[in-house]
Amino acid sequence: MADTVLFEQRGHVGIITLNRPKAHNACNAELSALMEKYLKVIDETDEIWVGVVASSHPMTFCAGADLKAVNKGERIEGSVGGFAGIVKYPLRKPMIAAVGGAALAGGCEIVLACDLLCATRNATFGVPEVKRSLVPAAGGLFRLPRRLPRAVAMEMMLTGDRIGAQRAYELGFVNRLVEPGSDANAAALAAALELASAITVNAPVAVREAAGVVRATAHASDEEAWALSQAAFLTLVQTEDFFEGPLAFIEKRDPVWTGKAKL
C-alpha cells in the first residue's frame, strides 16, 4: 500500500504521484485511501501552498477504476473524497493535474477535480463509460460541461470518444501545453511545477481564498457571490500578509509571506 501513491514536498508544493504503473494507475481502495491521506497532509501543512497530482507511468496518467477490484465487489472509494480519494474531497488549496498520455474515465474525473491542468501534446482526455453501459458518475457528468463548452462535453459523454490535448488547450481546458519528450508525465510534472512556482510567489492565504471563491461561485447567484467575496476579503484583513504586501511594495522589495490565516 505504501507504494501505490507517492508523496513529496518541494518547497511550497506538495506532489502526489499515482504509482500503479503496471495497472496504468487504475484506482483501487489503496490508491483512494492514500490519495485522501496526502490531500489531508497538503491541507494541514502550512508550508505547502499548492498541490500537484502526477503519474509515475511514462505514457498514462490514469486509466480509471480498477475493474478487477470492482468485479470482485470491492469498495474502491475513499471515505471522504470518494473515487480516487479526490473527487469529493473538500480542497482548500489550489490543485494542479499534470497529465502526460491518457486520462480516461475516472482518470479524467481526477483531472476535473483539480483546479488547473498541465498536459503534454500527446495527452488525451475522455469519459468512455457509455461504451460499458456506465456513466462518468465521479463528477464527470456535471464537471465536464463546466470546464468545456456544453456541446463538446455532451458529445464526449454520449460517444465515449476522446479529445486530444491540442483541442483541449484551444477550448481552455488545458492551462499549459508542452512537448512529451521521452517521459510524458515527467514533462507534464515539470510544467505543473513551473505553474506552481508562478502561484507560490503570491500570498498563500489570498491564493487559497481566491480559489475557494471561484470554486464556490460556479453556479451561485450574484448575492451569494458577493457574500463569499466579502468573506474572503475579511479573512485576508486578519492576516499579517495583508499588511506585508503593501509594505513590500512601498519598500521596493519582494514580500515575505507567512501564510498564517489570522493575526
Topology at the third CATH level for domain 5-200:
2-enoyl-CoA Hydratase; Chain A, domain 1 (3.90.226)
Residue 240 annotated as catalytic: no
Give all strands of the β-sheet with 116-120 in edge-to-edge order. 5-10, 13-18, 50-55, 95-99, 116-120, 176-178
Rounded Cα distance between 205 and 253, Å, is 20
Residue 129 annotated as catalytic: yes
Rounded Cα distance between 55 and 50, Å, is 17
Rounded Cα distance between 24 and 46, Å, is 32
Show me where the domains of the chain are located: 5-200, 204-250
Identify the active-site residue in 36, 47, 74, 129.
Answer: 129
User: What does the mean pLDDT of the chain come to?
Assistant: 94
pLDDT in tens, 47-92: 999 999 999 998 999 999 988 888 888 889 999 999 999 999 999 9
Provide the whole-model pTM: 0.93
Identify the active-site residue in 47, 109, 194, 251.
Answer: 109
Q: Which helix (DSSP H) or strand (DSSP E) does residue 104 occupy? A: strand 102-104
Instruction: Extract the residue ranges of the chain whose pLDDT is less than 70.
Output: 1-2, 263
* Chain centre to alpha carbon of residue 55: 12
Q: Which helix (DSSP H) or strand (DSSP E) does residue 226 occupy? A: helix 222-237
- pLDDT of 263 reads 63
